[in-house]
Structure 1
């Protein structure tokens, strides 16, 4: 399946001329949005795929995109930022992961993409998120093969470094069993994310939190970022996106968060692809 060819010029906007070093991909109800960024500076952005996109993940320059029709694999051109997609035959999906190879779920079936085909690893109810070999589901955190790891009401997981889990009643890390890092207020935690080394970590419920260190006992502190943050990604700096379509980027030079409205509502997920050229 080729990339969408009917994206018009008026669907692209430019906010600065500095050369982008990173591409962000934002999943929303109208499609997949590509956003060029350099630290906290937002450059050109526009749709690269039309349709209902439910989730997106990236690793090693490969995008895994969950849509209401299929799971797509996308390859981003490191020099130009173009993306080409191919269908995989999975069918409609609600959650995907790219870390360790493409995985996907339709909310019940979990499968890994191996040698051009999907291999089912488990059947679970209420799957909400995937990351590497971890699954967040209504019944708790599981391995890809369905092995239960506890924590009912899991909404998101992060497998980089020390595993983290966002649940209905708090934010947890895996130490001697699951240990609570932050007790949530009403609404619970929706999302948790760390960089590939596990050194930087953020989580969000009604409030965005950042971890103040690398140790298991490091404090998590609130960040003054308004809006319902639905996903977080890490590259040269940290990015967060709200359901209403506001992109927040941490400016390391000024130690402040800066925002940019993307003009795309019903945002679901965020993934980052570093530029290779």
Structure 2
């Protein structure tokens, strides 16, 4: 097992990160938030940094002030500054099911338990909420990424005029960075001249980094977008073999790294040389978000 975070000094963390830098993965679980330190595909210390049930997580990179980790919880939106000792605190009391970065550094989009979708911006100097804008409502919201919101009735796009229904049904996850992607109960889709089918089957998760890299879980298989020529059809995806025989339930990207977390609490990382893994020891995994630390 990796050493506890408290047993590693800041200087030791810097040595560990080395030239690859350090990225922290925040894993949202039913038991709280687990933070796992990564340096390329090397998996370092991990610890529980919040002990309230978490339904989703997103990292907001900011040009000024510390980057923020926003967490959707049954008690509201919880936020902390990225750092060695994140101090999560509720910034509202509305039960929240999903959160995603709105695009660029323009706050986060939050989906509430009652279906309300809001755009939340923060004060430059801290974690306090600067403004909240109501965008509309979605039946049974499930995921948010970029300007896209996934819900039982399909995919919706957030804009200045509120929410726009952009099609599909039973959307379970979305990727709004770069090529829009959607995972639904019927399959995995990319947005071309309308929604184009990538692969049929139950698709439960999808993630993208905005630079042509993407992953998805379809029919229990982990698929990786393997084409650099701009193609997004079925032939541009390949099945990935993880080092563990466990179901993948959460996907995320950081600088140069892909992360997949399983239902058994195993975190898998690929920095281009194959997958490595570490058993984190948590169940009820709901999401993962990555933050650059140094």
TM-score (norm 2): 0.82
Residue in 1 that maps onto 2:252: 233
SS in 2 for 1:18: helix
Residue in 2 that maps onto 1:169: 186
Assess, with a 3 A threshold, how the Cα gap between structure 1 residues 134 and 271 changes in structure 2: closer, same or farther.
same
Which whole-Å CA distance do the structure 1 matches of 2:279 and 2:53 have between them? 20
Residue in 2 that maps onto 1:180: 197
Q: How does 1:205-244 map to 2 (within 5 A)?
A: 205=218, 206-214=220-228, 215-217=230-232, 219-225=236-242, 226-235=245-254, 236-244=256-264
Instruction: Tell me how far 1:86 sits from its aligned partner.
Output: 3.5
Assess, with a 3 A threshold, how the Cα gap between structure 1 residues 217 and 96 changes in structure 2: closer, same or farther.
closer
Q: Deviations over 1:72-106 (max 9, x none)?
A: 122112xxx22123322142111011243112112
Q: 2:172 aligns with which of 143, 155, 158?
A: 155
Would you tell me which structure has more helix in proportion to its own residues?
Answer: 2
Residue in 1 that maps onto 2:70: 64
Residue in 2 that maps onto 1:111: 118
Which whole-Å CA distance do the structure 2 matches of 1:12 and 1:42 have between them? 16
With 84-93 and 157-166 compared, the bigger mean Cα shift is at 84-93
Contact 1:121-1:146 at 8 Å conserved across structures: yes
SS in 2 for 1:53: coil
SS in 2 for 1:147: strand
Q: Gaps (5+ residues) in structure 1?
A: 1-8
Q: How many residue pairs were aligned?
A: 258
Contact 2:155-2:165 at 8 Å conserved across structures: yes
Assess, with a 3 A threshold, how the Cα gap between structure 1 residues 246 and 13 changes in structure 2: closer, same or farther.
farther
Contact 1:28-1:266 at 8 Å conserved across structures: yes
Instruction: Tell me how far 1:274 sits from its aligned partner.
Output: 1.1
Which whole-Å CA distance do the structure 2 matches of 1:42 and 1:10 have between them? 13
Which whole-Å CA distance do the structure 1 matches of 2:211 and 2:23 have between them? 19
Which whole-Å CA distance do the structure 1 matches of 2:239 and 2:143 have between them? 23
Instruction: Tell me how far 1:34 sits from its aligned partner.
Output: 0.7
Instruction: Tell me how far 1:10 sits from its aligned partner.
Output: 6.4
Matched, 1:198 2:211: yes
Assess, with a 3 A threshold, how the Cα gap between structure 1 residues 93 and 130 changes in structure 2: closer, same or farther.
same
Contact 1:110-1:120 at 8 Å conserved across structures: yes
Assess, with a 3 A threshold, how the Cα gap between structure 1 residues 105 and 201 changes in structure 2: closer, same or farther.
same
Which whole-Å CA distance do the structure 2 matches of 1:56 and 1:132 have between them? 13
Instruction: Tell me how far 1:13 sits from its aligned partner.
Output: 8.3
Which whole-Å CA distance do the structure 2 matches of 1:38 and 1:99 have between them? 26
SS in 1 for 2:72: strand
SS in 2 for 1:146: strand
Contact 2:4-2:46 at 8 Å conserved across structures: no
Which whole-Å CA distance do the structure 1 matches of 2:231 and 2:165 have between them? 22
